[in-house]
Chain A
Amino acid sequence: MITALHQPFFQHALLAGTAIALASGLVGYFLVLRAQTFTGDALGHVAFTGAMAALAGGFDLRLGLFAGTVGVALLLGVLGRRGRPDDVVIGTLFSWILGLGTFFLTLYTTHRSTTQGNAGISVLFGSVYGLDGARTTAAVLIALAVSAAVVLIARPMLFATLDDAVAAARGVRTGALGLGFLALVGVCAAEATQAVGSLLLLGLLAAPAGTALRLTDRPYRALGLSAALAVLELWSGLMLSAAVPRLPPSFAIMAVAAACYAGASLVRPRSRSTRTTVARSTVTRIATVTRTTEE
């Protein structure tokens, strides 16, 4: 295990993975809150198809990855009303695109696959240990930019998610915000594909956010917790796979994420919130008393 930790491939994985997990945790919170988790799933399949199309056309895999996920995320936003694509739209597009991916894979394996024979597998299941220095830097910078953007739009986004009409009446441009968010989901999906693979990226997007939402009912705290959980789960997964070389990193990360979610499901939210209410009202009463004496 010690030897693995000092290898550049592991350090790259840790660095890129941390940034990607941070972005996924933040994006995932809103994805879950807006009940758009399915969008993330669809984008996973698009990621595969985009990457395969780029390879078949002889381009960098990431070009297809980003063009595919961002393009389709925006398309979903435009097709579905007001930036909230519905399930039928996603379901239809999603199967067609996966079929297209198989087509490109066939094209690629019959014509070009002399150097990267298992590119299909690594896109589907991730190849976080395969990142070189340049790719790591790119992944970190993009993921940090996504995170910053999510933090910037967090509050109006929360408002629009809970109360679209009221937010619009207060001057929040909910349509543009919804589209912008979907573009961020697209970028994040492309990034996460590099870490855990297109089939498993949903876990990184949905599981930490779902866990956080079960653990707290304060929105900003839940957002932070979702990001923190995603990073911790990625770290634990990487460590686990370093300790037990037989475990692929994607599997280890997803196993930890699923275990956390299962653990959080056992927590009873009701008793927690009641306790908070009692504590709160006491505090309020004390505050009121203090104010009265001041007067």
Chain B
Amino acid sequence: MTTAPIDHATVTEPPAPVPAPVLELRGAAVRTGGRTLWSDVDLTVGAGEFTAVLGPNGVGKSTLVKTLLGAVPSAAGTIRVPARTDVGYLPQRRSFDAAVRIRGIDVVRLGLDGHRWGLPIPGVHRARRRAERRRVDEVIESVGATGYAHRPIGRCSGGEQQRLLLAQALVTRPRLLLLDEPLDSLDLPNQSAIAALLGRICREDGVAVVMVAHDVNPILHHLDRVVYLAQGRAVAGPPAEVITSETLTRLYGAPVEVLRTADGRLVVVGVPEDCRSCGPCC
């Protein structure tokens, strides 16, 4: 449960009888094309914890998720992640084309049995298939998608599609849920609804959630921890300690200011020119 930021801002929490963390990075680094994307990343996530990965565009946030998936090897340090079957993954998303006429429930079902060969043959493995159907219905209900799960997924709205895909990622009851900008391209009410849903899944089902985010504000209230990537380095810790003028100034190596608006939103200003492609980062 300890986080070790790169600089002297080491945060220690009182030692509690903690179970083994779901995910652990120690001094992890990734090199792509001879260039070190980021290094010295430490991160520990326990069951039921919600972590956001923040930072400017192109800093390697999605690569961090791919590293956790095992798709990108770490060049240094140690990485401990759950087995593949214990990880739910929601990649950065294009939405389904309106022409895709496959029901949402079938898409969710593929999350459960899509890796198996052949076709589901009627009458074979009847008990297992009944249990699987029940699980699919249950997970669809838990994300609140029952009303449109039988509609072709191409006909569903962006928020509805995102809920169905979340159900697909959760259908195997993963211990770790990895999400890559799941709130992107959603309108504000949907953003906060999905954020609240993720917070609930995290608390109630004890799923460790790691989410790449462009904007921290919709999920701020649900977060336990953030990892802020910039300039090839990272700071991890509770949001109140990481998203501050001091920490970010140290991380960027240039004066950065974090402002809090009247309604509690955080705005980062003064991000160095080469990181500003996306405007304020968090």
Could you list 12 examples of A-B contacts with CB < 8 Å?
Answer: A152-B118, A155-B119, A159-B115, A162-B102, A163-B165, A167-B110, A170-B115, A214-B101, A219-B102, A220-B120, A284-B137, A284-B146
Q: Give the distance in Å from the alpha carbon of A273 to the alpha carbon of B89 in the complex.
A: 29
- Known pairs A155-B118, A218-B103; A166 contacts B111 (CB<8 A): yes
B73 within 8 A of A: no
Q: Give the distance in Å from the alpha carbon of A217 to the alpha carbon of B149 in the complex.
A: 12
Residues of A within 8 A of B89 (CB): 165-166, 169
- 10 closest A-B pairs by beta carbon, nearest first, are A159-B114, A165-B91, A277-B150, A169-B89, A159-B110, A217-B152, A217-B101, A170-B115, A154-B119, A217-B103
Contact with A along B139-152 (1 / 0, CB 8 A): 00000001010111
Minimum CB–CB distance from A149 to chain B (whole Å) comes to: 11
The answer to whether B115 touches A171, judged by C-beta atoms less than 8 angstroms apart, is yes
Q: What is the interface of chain A, defined by CB distance below 8 A to chain B?
A: 151-156, 158-159, 162-163, 165-172, 213-214, 217-220, 223, 269-270, 273, 276-277, 280-281, 284
- Known pairs A155-B118, A218-B103; A169 contacts B69 (CB<8 A): yes
Number of A-B contacts (CB under 8 A): 91
Residues of B within 8 A of A170 (CB): 84, 111, 114-115
Q: Tell me which of B84, B101, B118 contacts A154 (CB under 8 A).
A: B118
Minimum CB–CB distance from B181 to chain A (whole Å) comes to: 13
Q: Give the distance in Å from the alpha carbon of A155 to the alpha carbon of B111 in the complex.
A: 11
Q: Give the distance in Å from the alpha carbon of A274 to the alpha carbon of B183 in the complex.
A: 28
Chain B 134-176 interface residues, beta-carbon cutoff 8 Å to A: 137, 146, 148, 150-152, 155, 165, 168-169
Chain B 84-124 interface residues, beta-carbon cutoff 8 Å to A: 84, 87, 89-91, 96, 100-103, 106-107, 110-111, 113-120
Minimum CB–CB distance from B101 to chain A (whole Å) comes to: 5
The answer to whether A156 touches B102, judged by C-beta atoms less than 8 angstroms apart, is no
Residues of B within 8 A of A166 (CB): 89-91, 111, 168-169
Minimum CB–CB distance from B152 to chain A (whole Å) comes to: 5
Minimum CB–CB distance from A28 to chain B (whole Å) comes to: 15
Minimum CB–CB distance from B154 to chain A (whole Å) comes to: 9
- Known pairs A217-B101, A220-B120, A277-B151; A158 contacts B110 (CB<8 A): yes
Q: What is the interface of chain B, defined by CB distance below 8 A to chain A?
A: 69, 71, 84, 87, 89-91, 96, 100-103, 106-107, 110-111, 113-120, 137, 146, 148, 150-152, 155, 165, 168-169
The answer to whether B118 touches A276, judged by C-beta atoms less than 8 angstroms apart, is no
The answer to whether A219 touches B71, judged by C-beta atoms less than 8 angstroms apart, is no
Minimum CB–CB distance from B158 to chain A (whole Å) comes to: 16
Q: Give the distance in Å from the alpha carbon of A29 to the alpha carbon of B118 in the complex.
A: 15
Q: Tell me which of A171, A217, A277, A280 contacts B84 (CB under 8 A).
A: A171
Q: Give the distance in Å from the alpha carbon of A170 to the alpha carbon of B89 in the complex.
A: 9
The answer to whether A168 touches B71, judged by C-beta atoms less than 8 angstroms apart, is yes
Most buried by A among B84, B89, B102, B165: B102
* Given A163-B107, A167-B115, A277-B150, 7 more pairs with CB closer than 8 A: A151-B119, A163-B165, A166-B91, A166-B169, A167-B110, A269-B152, A284-B137
Q: Give the distance in Å from the alpha carbon of A151 to the alpha carbon of B114 in the complex.
A: 13
Residues of B within 8 A of A163 (CB): 91, 107, 110, 165, 168
Residues of A within 8 A of B146 (CB): 281, 284
Q: Tell me which of A154, A159, A169, A219 contacts B87 (CB under 8 A).
A: A169
Q: Give the distance in Å from the alpha carbon of A154 to the alpha carbon of B69 in the complex.
A: 25
The answer to whether A218 touches B117, judged by C-beta atoms less than 8 angstroms apart, is no
The answer to whether B102 touches A273, judged by C-beta atoms less than 8 angstroms apart, is no
Minimum CB–CB distance from A90 to chain B (whole Å) comes to: 20
Q: Give the distance in Å from the alpha carbon of A170 to the alpha carbon of B116 in the complex.
A: 10
Minimum CB–CB distance from A223 to chain B (whole Å) comes to: 8
The answer to whether A220 touches B119, judged by C-beta atoms less than 8 angstroms apart, is yes
Q: Give the distance in Å from the alpha carbon of A280 to the alpha carbon of B106 in the complex.
A: 14
The answer to whether A155 touches B69, judged by C-beta atoms less than 8 angstroms apart, is no
Q: Give the distance in Å from the alpha carbon of A159 to the alpha carbon of B171 in the complex.
A: 14
